[in-house]
Amino acid sequence: MYLPDHAWPDLGEYFERESLALVPVGSTEQHGPHLPESTDHVIAENLAREAADRGDYLCTAPVKVGVSTHHMQFHGTMSVDPPAFRDYVESLTRNLTAHGIDRVVYVNAHGGNMQHLREVGRRLREDRDAYAVEWMWDESIPDLVDDLFEHNGPHGGPKETAMLMHLDPENVHEERLEEARDGGRVHLEDGDPTIHGARNYYDAIDNSPNGVFGDQTDATAEKGEQLFEAATDELVALCDWLDDRAFDDLMAKPHVD
């Protein structure tokens, strides 16, 4: 059930029987010369909506702009400051609790959001308002990702390229896949990301001239479909697990006596 598509009287039945919601969270940022800036929020929304339909859960409208300060050197990247992002997502989630939601899955597709979504989840749990957990699609299926691609790339690589070939092929510039590979970094390590134990970068451009990593030419729509189906299965399983838990069991344990 996709919340924005329904009139309010028709949503009451869901809130009477369920207390779980999926919130898609992505970004609007550069993904190299071959992918649209919508990549992350397209992936997040499609996964959240598909899992909601399969599991009979509620999916909210997506959060399309995240924390992307590390991509600001590239045209069009949109970003919000981390405190503003955290406060916005927290406020949005507290709005859901007013309707009876007490467990939330942030269906995330952008690495820059991860730590901030975790912090929001901690705040909500400490207040006993909700149990909100951050879920990152590729981290749910690491073995499949490794099996499908020799050089995954942490950003704009073949896994995201394959997903977009499956979900939004009209906005993938397949004629630029070699350009993406040859103008970026196939291996993150080639950019000397660590010097004497210190991370030697803050922004994507510090390690990749065109902002992406991995071998994009290894991506296909068929591989994207495999990723999408496997990640959706994991997301539905997570929602079912959360749905079965007693609320008190999800809250913080008491102080040790």
Could you read off the pLDDT of 158-210 as tens digits, one per residue?
A: 999 999 999 999 999 999 999 999 999 998 778 778 889 998 889 999 999 99
User: Over 80: is that where the pLDDT of 245 sits?
Assistant: yes
Average pLDDT over the chain, rounded to whole? 96
| pLDDT score recorded for residue 210 | 97
Strand, helix or coil for residue 142? helix
| Spans of all domains in the chain | 3-249
Strand, helix or coil for residue 105? strand
Confidence of residue 220 (pLDDT cuts 50, 70, 90): very high
Percentage of the chain with pLDDT > 70?
100
| pLDDT score recorded for residue 193 | 83
Quickly list DSSP for 21-85.
EEEEE--B--BTTTB-TTHHHHHHHHHHHHHHHHHT-EE---B-----GGGTTSTT-B---HHHH
The class of domain 3-249 in CATH terms is alpha beta
**Full-model pTM:** 0.96
Instruction: Answer for the pair 100, 20: CB distance below 8 angstroms, yes or no.
Output: no
Could you read off the pLDDT of 39-92 as tens digits, one per residue?
A: 999 999 999 999 999 999 999 999 999 999 999 999 999 999 999 999 999 999
Q: What is the DSSP letter of 195?
A: E
User: Over 90: is that where the pLDDT of 234 sits?
Assistant: yes
| pLDDT score recorded for residue 190 | 80
Instruction: Answer for the pair 133, 219: CB distance below 8 angstroms, yes or no.
Output: no
Q: What is the DSSP letter of 241?
A: H
